[in-house]
A and B are shown apart, each in its own frame.
Chain A
Amino acid sequence: MKRSFCFDTVSGTGQKWFWDEVAEMTGACGYESVEIPFSAWTFNAGRSGAPLCAVAIRTKFGTVKKYEEFLESCKIVGGISSIYINADNVLSTMFEYNTEPQHIFEKLAELGRETVDVLAEAGGEAVIIDPSPKIATLRRVYGNMTEKERVDWYFEGAAKAVNEVADYAEGFGVKTFVRNCFFGYMRGNEIEKFMALVNDKVGFSPDLNQLYIAGCDAVELIEKYAGRVDFMKCNDSFYKDELHYYDSNTPEAPAEGDHQRVYCDLGNGDVDVPGAYRAFKKAGGNTLCLSSKASFNYVKAMIKMQVYANKYLDP
C-alpha cells in the first residue's frame, strides 16, 4: 500500500527554503508521494514559495515538471500523487475577486481543469474534489431558495462540474475522486446521493475524520464503493459535534463549549483508522494519504504517522 504525505499537515512560512526542506524530510521519512491541497487563485498564494497553487509552483520552479523532478530528487519517488481542491476555497476566492456567486460551478470546474493540467505535467494520479462549500455559506449566499431547492440545485450543479472535470482528466490519464467534509452539503452519508449523480469515472476518496465527525460509518461507505475507492485520507479526531456546529459559520473552530478542537494528530484521536484500512485494502484501494491537519509540530507528525502506519496499518 502506497503512503502519501499530505501537505495540509504543515503550517509554516511561505518561503521556498521551508517547503524545500519539507519535501526533503518527507522523502527521508519514506513517503512515496505527496498530496497537495491547492488554493485557488489568490494573490498571496501565487507570490509565495509554498507549492500550494499552480502559479506558485510555476513561478518558483519554472515548470511543474521541474518541481516533480525536485520531489524525486528528495527521494519522493512518486512525486505528486494527488491534488485536493475544495469548493469552499473556490467560493471564498470568488468573493475576494468580486466574481458573481452564480458562477460557482463554472469556477469549480475551471480549478479542476487547471489542477488536472498540473497533475498531467507532473505524472500525478488523481484530482480529489470536495464539491461543497460550508452549509452556512451556501445558505447565506444562495438565500433566494428554499433549503430543498438549494440542496437539489447545488447537488446537480456540482455533479455536472465534477463530471466535466472527470471527462477532462480522463484524456490525460488522471483519475477523479470526491471527498466530503463534515460541514458541506455532501457530509457523511449524503455523499451517496452525490455519487449517484456523478458518472462511473468518479471515485470516492474517504476522509476518515470528516466521516467520523459527521457520525457516519466509514467502513460501510468504503465497502459500498469497492472498486471505486482510493486515496483514503488517514487522519484523526476526538471531536464530537454535540452543539451541531457543522452548519455554523465556523464549523472547524466552534465558538462555544469546552470541546473546540476539531482535529488532532493521527493516532491521538478516536477514529478507527485500522478498521477503515482493512476495508480499504479489501475494496482495492492503493494509496493512503496520511494527514495530521495543521499539526502543532509537523516534523514530529510526519515521523509519527509513519510509525502509526507501521504499527497499525501495514505492519
Chain B
Amino acid sequence: MDNIKFSHMTNMWGQPKFVKVNNFDEWYDKDFTRDYYYLDYDKIIRYIAGCGFKGIELMWFATATIPAMFGSYENFTTFINERGIEKVTGMFCINLGAADKRNHENIYKSQQKVIDALAALGGENLIIMPENQYYGTGPLDDEGLKNAAECMNEVGRRAADKGLDVSIHNEFWCAINLYDHEKFFKMTDPRYVKYCLDTAQVSIMGVDPVDFYDKYHERVKYFHLKDTNKQKAPDEERFGPGAEFDENGKRWFYELGGGYVDFEALWKLLKKYEFKGWVSVESDGTPDPIASLLLIKNYIDTKLLPIYR
C-alpha cells in the first residue's frame, strides 16, 4: 500500500459551466474548435482520473456553484467517484482582511461555509492564504500578524470540530511574506494549524522549500507541488499590484521538472520523515492543462515514486 496518494487542483480549468455536455455537433459546427472538450466537469474529472490522480482540490467559490449545478455536495461526490476520483481532498480559500480584528466575525462566517462544504464533500484539508495581497495591505505590524494568527487559529479550531485540518498556504504575493512568514507561523497553534507547502510559491518568495520542509516537517502535512524558474523574485515584483497576474505575461509556475525546485531532494526528505497522506499538484497559469497534467504525472512516476511512494 502506497504512503502517498496524489490529488490535483482544478482551478486551472476555470469554472466549468456544465456538468456534462451532450452534443458535440452544436459546439463544433461553425466554430471548428476543440472547446467542446473543456466545457464540463464530466470530461475534466475524467482527464484528471485518466492520468492516475486519485483526488481533486477545489476553490472556495465552488461552495456556490457545486450545489447549484449538482443539487448537493453528496451528488458531486458520487459524480467524481463514478469517474475514478476517490475524494475531494481539499479546498483553497483566503482569510481576507485577517490582520484587522474587525473583519474576523465576517471571515468566520465565510469560512464556516467553506468548512461545512468541505466536510459534506468528505474532504480533509482547508488550505488558507492567511491575508490579502501584499499591495495595499503589507507589511503587517506585530498586531496585524497576531490578529491574522488568531484568525487562523479560530478557523482551525472550527475546522477541527468537523474533523478537518486547516493549513497555512503562503503565496509569494501575500501580505505575510518573506520577512515575517516564519514569525507568523510560530504564532499559530499547532493543534489547529498545519502547513501546506507550495513549492513554487515559497521559492519565488525566496525560501528554499526543501530546507523549509526539513525544518518544519512535523507541521507540514500537505503540499501543493509546482515548479518555478523564478526563485527569489525581488520584493518590488512580489509586492506590486496584482503581482500574480504579471503585466507583461511572465509565467510564474511550471510543471514539475520545468523549473529549478529540487523535488528529488524533497522526496528524499518525505522518505526520511515517513510522510503519509495526500500530496496535491497544481498547474496554475498553464496554457495547456492537459499537457501539464500528463507531464506532471510522468515526472512523478519516473522521478519521484522510485525514491519513495
- Taking the nearest CB of chain B, how far is it from the CB of A211, in angstroms? 21
The 8 Å CB contact of B64, one of A15, A18, A92, A252, is A92
List 11 additional A-B contacts (Cβ < 8 Å) besides A47-B244, A60-B242: A13-B249, A15-B246, A16-B247, A17-B248, A47-B135, A48-B242, A49-B242, A98-B106, A250-B17, A250-B69, A260-B18
Q: Is the CB of A261 within 8 A of B27?
A: yes
A307 contacts chain B at the CB level, 8 A cutoff: no
15 A-B pairs within 8 Å (CB atoms) are namely A13-B245, A15-B246, A47-B242, A49-B242, A49-B247, A96-B61, A250-B17, A252-B17, A253-B18, A253-B69, A255-B69, A261-B27, A268-B31, A296-B33, A297-B33
Of listed A17, A92, A252, A296, residue having the most chain B CB within 10 A:
A296
Task: Write the chain B residue with the least CB distance to A21.
Answer: B249
Q: Is the CB of B31 within 8 A of A258?
A: no
A14 contacts chain B at the CB level, 8 A cutoff: yes
A-B pairs under 8 A by CB, number: 86
Q: Please give, as numbers and ranges, the residues of chain B lying within 8 Å of A252 by CB-CB distance.
A: 17
- Taking the nearest CB of chain B, how far is it from the CB of A255, in angstroms? 6
CA distance A265 to B32 in the complex (A): 12
Cβ-closest 5 pairs across A and B: A253-B17, A47-B242, A249-B68, A16-B247, A258-B23
A interface with B by C-beta (< 8 Å):
13-18, 43, 47-49, 56, 59-60, 92, 95-98, 249-250, 252-253, 255-261, 264-265, 268, 296-297
Q: Please give, as numbers and ranges, the residues of chain B lying within 8 Å of A13 by CB-CB distance.
A: 245, 249
B295 contacts chain A at the CB level, 8 A cutoff: no
Known contacts A47-B241, A98-B109; A268/B17 CB under 8 A: no
CA distance A49 to B242 in the complex (A): 7
Q: Is the CB of A260 within 8 A of B23?
A: yes
Q: Please give, as numbers and ranges, the residues of chain A lying within 8 Å of B151 by CB-CB distance.
A: none
CA distance A235 to B158 in the complex (A): 48
Q: How does the 8 Å CB contact mask read for B236-256 relative to A, with 1 for contact and 0 for none?
A: 000001101111110000000
- Taking the nearest CB of chain A, how far is it from the CB of B266, in angstroms? 29
Main secondary structure of the interface of A (DSSP, over half): loop
Q: Please give, as numbers and ranges, the residues of chain B lying within 8 Å of A43 by CB-CB distance.
A: 94, 96, 132
Q: Please give, as numbers and ranges, the residues of chain B lying within 8 Å of A264 by CB-CB distance.
A: 30-31
Task: Write the chain B residue with the least CB distance to A16.
Answer: B247
CA distance A296 to B36 in the complex (A): 10
CA distance A253 to B132 in the complex (A): 32
Q: Please give, as numbers and ranges, the residues of chain A lying within 8 Å of B69 by CB-CB distance.
A: 249-250, 253, 255
Q: How does the 8 Å CB contact mask read for B142-154 relative to A, with 1 for contact and 0 for none?
A: 0000000000000
CB interface residues, B 249-301, toward A, < 8 Å = 249
Main secondary structure of the interface of B (DSSP, over half): loop
Q: Please give, as numbers and ranges, the residues of chain A lying within 8 Å of B249 by CB-CB distance.
A: 13, 15, 17-18
Q: How does the 8 Å CB contact mask read for B196-211 relative to A, with 1 for contact and 0 for none?
A: 0000000000000000
Task: Write the chain B residue with the least CB distance to A261.
Answer: B26
The 8 Å CB contact of A47, one of B18, B110, B133, is B133
Q: How does the 8 Å CB contact mask read for B66-79 relative to A, with 1 for contact and 0 for none?
A: 00110000000000
B220 contacts chain A at the CB level, 8 A cutoff: no
CA distance A196 to B297 in the complex (A): 60
Q: Please give, as numbers and ranges, the residues of chain A lying within 8 Å of B61 by CB-CB distance.
A: 96
Q: Is the CB of B241 within 8 A of A60?
A: yes
Known contacts A49-B247, A98-B109, A260-B21; A59/B26 CB under 8 A: no
CB interface residues, B 5-48, toward A, < 8 Å = 17-23, 26-27, 30-31, 33, 35
Q: Is the CB of A255 within 8 A of B19?
A: yes
The 8 Å CB contact of A15, one of B22, B132, B247, is B247
- Taking the nearest CB of chain B, how far is it from the CB of A143, in angstroms? 15
Q: Please give, as numbers and ranges, the residues of chain A lying within 8 Å of B245 by CB-CB distance.
A: 13-16, 47-49
CA distance A260 to B94 in the complex (A): 34
- Taking the nearest CB of chain A, how far is it from the CB of B30, in angstroms? 5
Q: Is the CB of B21 within 8 A of A296?
A: no
Q: Is the CB of B17 within 8 A of A259?
A: no
Known contacts A98-B106, A296-B31; A260/B26 CB under 8 A: yes
- Taking the nearest CB of chain A, how far is it from the CB of B220, in angstroms? 26
Q: Is the CB of B68 within 8 A of A255?
A: no
- Taking the nearest CB of chain A, how far is it from the CB of B307, in angstroms? 35
- Taking the nearest CB of chain B, how far is it from the CB of A55, in angstroms? 10
Q: Please give, as numbers and ranges, the residues of chain B lying within 8 Å of A98 by CB-CB distance.
A: 106, 109-110
Q: Is the CB of A255 within 8 A of B18?
A: yes
Q: Please give, as numbers and ranges, the residues of chain B lying within 8 Å of A297 by CB-CB distance.
A: 31, 33
- Taking the nearest CB of chain B, how far is it from the CB of A87, in angstroms? 16
- Taking the nearest CB of chain A, how far is it from the CB of B106, in angstroms? 5
CA distance A259 to B110 in the complex (A): 36
Q: Please give, as numbers and ranges, the residues of chain B lying within 8 Å of A14 by CB-CB distance.
A: 242, 245
Q: Please give, as numbers and ranges, the residues of chain B lying within 8 Å of A60 by CB-CB distance.
A: 241-242, 247
